[in-house]
Amino acid sequence: MANLVDENAIEKDVMSRLEDLEDFLEIKTDWLTPAGRQRSIPMYETTVINEYSDEIKTIKAKSQPEVEQKAKAQLTKWAEQEIKKRILGAKKDAKEEATSSSEMAQAIIESIREILRATLAVDDKLKWEELLDQEKFPPFHFRKEPEMPASNPPVMPAAPFWGFLLQFFRRRWEEKCKELNSQYQVTIEKLKADYDRATKEWGEEKKKALEEHKLKKQTFEAEQAEKNQRVHDFRKRFEEGEMQAVIEYINAVFERSNYPEAVSLDYTVAYESSSKTLVADVVLPVQDVIPDIIEYRYLKSSNEMKPIKMKKKEHDELYDSLIKQIIIRTIHEIFESVYTPHVQAAVVNGWVTYVDRATGHDVTSCIISVSSERKQFESFNLERIDPTECVKSLKGLIAGPLSNVAPVRPILQLNRQDPRFIESKEMLAELNATTNLAEIPWEDFEHLVRELFGKMFSAEGAEVRVTQSSRDQGVDAIAFDPDPIRGGKFVIQAKRYTNVVGVSAVRDLYGTMINEGAVKGILVTTAYYGPDSREFAKDKPITLIDGSNLVYLLEQYGYKVRIDIEAAKIKQRMDAIGP
């Protein structure tokens, strides 16, 4: 509980200010009466100020000690009044804070209870036009063209009166006018020359600035067109039902789905085009992070704000409702957002990572799994459903109260069926210290790599399958890790080489990962990788395992082998020559 009103702090603040005021009392001596007559003994006075209430008071007395005493008494009285008012005001603020905090807590709980209904007014489809970059390139602006400065003609002197009679005066006047005109013409010519030069410079600068503006505009529009073309291509691929595009589309829908701050979700999506089924693994929040405070009460006796929590049973029910609403809402967002006929069924598995109290270790379990056909789900009135009854009608899998995080087996997970998969061949048992991996047949090497990674992944509950020999369609083995956080699909390639593995092989692996929708690629070789290969893989989800690391991994699992590249090259040459 938080102490909202610190009376000691208020009193200390006021009294420290009082001491400062007392130390700086300015006392004046007055020898004159109000009528202006001389006093036989002086009067003493001072002015005190109450900063809290903006009061000012003048205090007078017949002696300086008496003035000081009265002034301090007045300041003390004001201080006591201020302390009392500030404490009362702080308590009033504390009550209002408790009321405001209660309203906020109730609003948070209500937002959790309304997670499903909150999305019904939202159109979950991606707005393609909003994904397009429609920003306009700023128009060309340049400073104004220089203007010819104004120059007023000179004021001519008035013709002299005697000029009409005496030619001398008239001639002097005419010369003066001529001189002024000549000076004016010089000024005009200079101004025009300056204007012409400024105009020429302005024109050249404008032309250069216009060319730069055109180049920038062309670059901007080219980049914008490229971005927008990617959006158009994405839309086309999605509307054609391309697997990876459907997955990307749904991920974008989930990213735009707004949940209360306390509810953080993470998704892994898979799509099976043959059955038009979309599978979403959702990492759900644990119950501990879901708010359980329903009210804050201000305790007058202790000046504290006490949080009032809901009963455990109520919080369990809130969590149960929250999880079921999330699952139903996810199905709703899938069907509403996918406006094409390519998704006709959805499976949503809810996963939670929690601490196993028996072992103290983190455990990840699927605690709810629900599937639905589009036609069935779209017949529901989600405004009026009860989440529990809805999950029941969809025959969702739940093993008791969700607060118990009891695991269930997902109805459907990532698709692991692939016509390329073949029965694997056991190779590790045949290895011994004399086996040179660089010499064994390349088909055996691929099976060996599959078996090795099968052992490595088995501890994580994953599965590794080997594909049929293709020389070289890009995939030698595929691993499926069911973990919703770190898992997914892994593509593994095996290269039994005796020369450096070029960067093209790593690029091919990266392209294969994208085509397969894999989260990671692993390239294993008996040889080694050049700097170009390692540079290309540096910032990508690719692991490169060379010959020495492969030997080390095998030794970790108890298999002694060797890789002798030179011996393998000699054998290859001998085989090429023949008997």
Mean pLDDT on 205-231: 94
Could you give the percent of the chain with pLDDT greater than 90? 34
DSSP state of 440: S
Mean pLDDT on 39-60: 78
Q: Which amino acid is at 26?
A: E
Q: Are 557 and 452 in contact (CB under 8 A)?
A: yes
- β partners of residue 490: 479, 520
Query: How far is residue 576's CA from residue 579's CA, in Å, rounded to a whole number?
Result: 9
Higher-pLDDT residue of 577 and 393 is 393
* Predicted pLDDT at 83: 79
421: helix, coil or strand?
A: strand
Kindly report, residue by residue over 522-539, the tens digit of the pLDDT: 999 999 898 899 999 988
How many other C-beta atoms can be found within 10 angstroms of the C-beta atom of residue 316?
16
Mean pLDDT on 149-164: 72
* Predicted pLDDT at 116: 95
Say yes or no to pLDDT of 124 above 50: yes
Say yes or no to pLDDT of 11 above 60: yes
Q: Are 467 and 476 in contact (CB under 8 A)?
A: yes
DSSP state of 152: P
Handedness of CA 35, 37, 38, 40 (dihedral sign): negative
Kindly report, residue by residue over 403-446, the tens digit of the pLDDT: 887 887 787 665 444 444 444 456 676 777 788 888 888 878 88
* Predicted pLDDT at 386: 94
How many other C-beta atoms can be found within 10 angstroms of the C-beta atom of residue 213?
16
Mean pLDDT on 5-29: 71
156: helix, coil or strand?
A: coil
Kindly report, residue by residue over 464-503, the tens digit of the pLDDT: 555 544 444 445 677 776 554 556 778 888 888 888 998 9
Kindly report, residue by residue over 454-466, the tens digit of the pLDDT: 777 765 555 555 5
Query: How far is residue 307's CA from residue 132's CA, in Å, rounded to a whole number?
Result: 48
Query: How far is residue 226's CA from residue 229's CA, in Å, rounded to a whole number?
Result: 5
- β partners of residue 298: 305
Query: How far is residue 442's CA from residue 472's CA, in Å, rounded to a whole number?
Result: 11
Structure tokens, 326: 């999330």
Structure tokens, 188: 């005009």
Query: How far is residue 324's CA from residue 387's CA, in Å, rounded to a whole number?
Result: 6
Say yes or no to pLDDT of 162 above 70: no
Structure tokens, 553: 């991994």
Query: How far is residue 577's CA from residue 579's CA, in Å, rounded to a whole number?
Result: 7
Q: Are 46 and 27 in contact (CB under 8 A)?
A: yes
Higher-pLDDT residue of 516 and 84 is 84
* Predicted pLDDT at 578: 58
Question: Which of 133-142, 262-271, 329-338, 427-436 is predicted least confidently?
Answer: 427-436
Structure tokens, 64: 């300086």
Q: Are 227 and 247 in contact (CB under 8 A)?
A: no
Query: How far is residue 146's CA from residue 565's CA, in Å, rounded to a whole number?
Result: 78
- On the CB side of 183, CA atoms within 13 Å amount to 11
Query: How far is residue 281's CA from residue 254's CA, in Å, rounded to a whole number?
Result: 12
* Predicted pLDDT at 471: 43
Q: Are 295 and 105 in contact (CB under 8 A)?
A: yes
Average pLDDT over all residues of the chain: 83
